[in-house]
Chains A and B, each alone.
Chain A
């Protein structure tokens, strides 16, 4: 379960990734942030961002709010 949710629905690439990148340093290490994003590029770019930044990509979920991506702050 995510500790918090950021809603990026309706935003186009690269805005959801930027929103995740902005939020990450503000949350404690270990926090799971869920990014809601309906832009199809998010499915590629959020995991790629995690890889480039050394954060943990936990996976995607397709819930009632549309596609969502869970990221854990690891450092």
Chain B
């Protein structure tokens, strides 16, 4: 008998929220026309798009005209970084970013450096928290066009000191971009940013919808070929049914966020405690207190990360890993590397609205045996 599936990788993609499904189906019937045209069907599509934008803006605490929908969280991040740099190219060409940004931000930074710009990477501590002193020094340097900081680590869950980082940016007159993909729809957003991005499939919306919010007065210039849609911030027709579903599910997720955060944080606490107590030679990583409510990461000494993912999958558990053997580049996660924590045998567990206490219990019951089995196979018991 195969084990019933337990999906624990919400930080990659949360299961579709029922509200998203409903809205998507309705909008497929009602929102297929091009919202830019001048006939009845287009006006209906325009109404749906406007309503989605207003709802999203309300949840983010911004104005509707500050919000654009992009084809993914990745393209939103690319646009945020490259557009923020382009808008201030007269001031300078330095991007300051933390060492634990998402690869979308780091790849945009590489593009910028490849084009002759510079990037300053700011380190984090062992818990994955930004070094604020180094950050303040970095943003005060001459020629800084933009600073980028993830609101909370997608790999280890540590919440970043965004308010303090934003204050340092404000002092230096540098706009701050925050990648809020793991926070939007789950936890209150920090203040003080000029540009924000998010990704709908992290909150139960459909995959392939990103959000780019640019506050009024921010010097941001589209890095893409010209296109008038979405306030000129991101080219191409929007996937309107998906955008409608994203906005509807964001509203639903935000309405439940406080209660869900309390429920999931208790389950994450349980994972942190039980894994540390019941799996020998394990390092539970990330800040134990200042962290996301739904995400927990640990590394098992002497265990191959890929073998661990496969063994968990055979028992029905879907999780992620930052171990090098599980990545296409065969490099360990840059986040674990920046923190200086064990990178092999790494597992990231991330919970969502459908995760039950029983799911977590089953995971915790089975994990010690699975790890012990792999260690026995590898002949590393007692090392």
Decide: B345 and A14 in contact? CB cutoff 8 A: yes
Q: Do the beta carbons of B332 and A48 come within 8 Å of each other?
A: no
- The B interface is mostly helix, strand or loop, or mixed, namely loop
- 9 A-B residue pairs with Cβ-Cβ distance under 8 Å, sorted by A, are A12-B325, A40-B331, A41-B324, A45-B332, A48-B341, A48-B342, A49-B342, A52-B281, A52-B283
A45 and B24 alpha carbons, distance in the complex (Å):
45
Closest-by-CB residue of B relative to A12 is: B325
Within A1-60, the residues touching B (CB, 8 Å) are: 12-14, 17-18, 21-22, 39-41, 43-45, 47-49, 52
Which residues from chain A sit less than 8 Å from chain B, CB to CB? 12-14, 17-18, 21-22, 39-41, 43-45, 47-49, 52
Given A13-B324, A21-B383; A48-B343 close (CB under 8 Å): yes
A44 to B304, CA, bound (A): 15
- If A21-B302, A44-B336 touch, whether A13 touches B283 (CB-CB below 8 Å) is no
Contact assessment for A44 and B301 in the assembled complex, using a CB-CB cutoff below 8 Å: no
Contacts of B341 in A (CB 8 A): 44, 48
Interface size on B, residues (CB 8 A): 24
Smallest Cβ distance from B105 to chain A, in angstroms?
Answer: 21
* B343 touching A45, Cβ below 8 Å: yes
The 8 Å CB contact of B344, one of A14, A43, A47, is A14
Of the candidates A17, A22, A40, A44, the one whose C-beta lies within 8 Å of that of B340 is A44
Q: State whether A14 and B303 are in contact (beta carbons under 8 Å apart), knowing that A22-B383, A49-B342 are contacts in the complex.
A: yes
CA gap between A62 and B306 in the complex, in Å: 28
Which chain B residues numbered 336 to 368 have a C-beta less than 8 Å away from chain A?
336-337, 340-345
**B255 contacts A by Cβ under 8 Å:** no
Q: A14-B302, A18-B383, A41-B343 are in contact. Are A48 and B324 (CB under 8 A)?
A: no
B153 at the A interface (CB under 8 A): no
How distant is the Cα of A18 from the Cα of B330 in the complex, in angstroms? 18
Q: Mark B255-292, 1 if CB is under 8 A from A, else 0.
A: 00000000000000000000000000101000000000
